[in-house]
Structure 1
């Protein structure tokens, strides 16, 4: 190998155990969904004892899942994280031009988020270049019940799903004006579902949020428009902003494949 070859220069930094763990995950595909320890060892060119600890580590972290007495398949952690990433990248690509246009039309900041368990995860922002602007960084996580987008992200969940999600979550640990218990959260989600949008006010700022749906009608993301109360309180601004937000969400959802059921 030449001196300039990056693979040659980086060889000293390879972690063999990590490399073997990733190779084990790569063994699973549409033709090999379930492999036992002997099959894994054979495909890896080693013994069962040489890969045992790696397999157990992957299983403990949820990247592999035990099936039957001695079989394994890809675990929920790997699958959910992979699909969450792919879905979030796709929706960013679709939503980006629409949110930038919405920001230019309203002179207000716009954000895009997805749900990670009971948190709102911000994955894109279109920042309004004003002295008074709401600017929440990409990667920020906020409990869903504490913000407008979070309530919209929860709006497609059934009562049973909400109960399961919030079974071990305390809602009164957060210093917000949001729901303080599960019945109040269910009521807020019901109102969001019926209205189709949510308005929230906090820290001298106002936000309006609505949902983004995919081709199956599922809520896959949420968007908002947010700005200082001083701007949003001007006559007619709130109503015009809400209407532009809803139209923006309609366009993004349509590009994501959503087709509302025809009225009869």
Structure 2
């Protein structure tokens, strides 16, 4: 069966639209749209009322969306959106563009800082390294591309959490999946640390995984000032006679690199 297509010269006739409609799909999209405007979620009854339908008319669709992890339900039987659509919207093409845009600047950062660096994004309850550049020195410390990192005990994770609104941060933490070795952290202490990150504009902390490493992480902004990634330098101090950029110099260099990368990704000039 051929599916009608349209061009500016030949719009689809309204009768064709009715002929090829998809009521079940429309119902599912209606549910997602209602939930997108409901930051506190909806019960089944509230969803049905908002859609002018009965509970029995939407129940199977809600179950299907929950099974496919597009929506989630809490202990009070309120449904909210998951981050699945966000992840789908940010799959390979945007990630490839982000990596392609970032790599020249990550190479510049590694050369100027004489340190390794990596680019991390949020993915399914964890932060994941999507690009990494080794130090140009004869020694180097870095994370492998594709490696998952803790969300709550790393500088990159703190950047990705700190710049979310309260709803986005709550969802990220609700979907949090611990990686091997990830340390427990008191929520109150975590929120205090995230507030300090926002105030400072970066995260600087001793590594919770490797002794002698100080992690420096800055946000990368995209459209609408949203933070789309974190750039991290696992700083290792030299103690021999060789001259090397200090931690303060590396931090200033990193801030410059991240601001330039953000502008390339469409962020406001004010960043």
Q: Is structure 2 residue 140 aligned with structure 1 residue 133?
A: yes
The residue number in structure 1 matching 2:258 is 249
Distance 1:189 1:76, change over 3 A: closer
Q: Is structure 2 residue 92 aligned with structure 1 residue 83?
A: no
Query: Which stretch shifts more, 253-262 or 242-251?
Result: 253-262
Equivalent pair of 1:133/1:227 in contact (CA under 8 Å): no
Distance 1:260 1:79, change over 3 A: same
- Map Cα deviations across residues 86-132 of structure 1 (whole Å, 9 max, x no partner): 33222111111011111111111010011124311100001124443
The residue number in structure 2 matching 1:218 is 226
Cα distance in 2 for partners of 1:110, 1:217 equals 23
- Paired residue for 1:230, among 238, 243, 253? 238
Q: TM-score, normalised by structure 2?
A: 0.63
Distance 1:113 1:64, change over 3 A: closer
Q: Secondary structure at the match of 1:222?
A: strand
Q: TM-score, normalised by structure 1?
A: 0.64
Equivalent pair of 2:238/2:244 in contact (CA under 8 Å): no
- Paired residue for 1:181, among 158, 183, 186? 186
Residue ranges of structure 2 left out of the alignment (5+ in a row):
1-16, 26-60, 72-80
- Aligned-pair CA distance for 1:146: 1.3
Residue ranges of structure 1 left out of the alignment (5+ in a row):
1-30, 38-54, 66-74
Equivalent pair of 2:158/2:194 in contact (CA under 8 Å): yes
- Aligned-pair CA distance for 1:164: 4.0
Equivalent pair of 1:132/1:228 in contact (CA under 8 Å): no
Aligned residues: 202
Q: Secondary structure at the match of 2:217?
A: strand
Cα distance in 2 for partners of 1:131, 1:119 equals 31
Q: Secondary structure at the match of 1:246?
A: helix
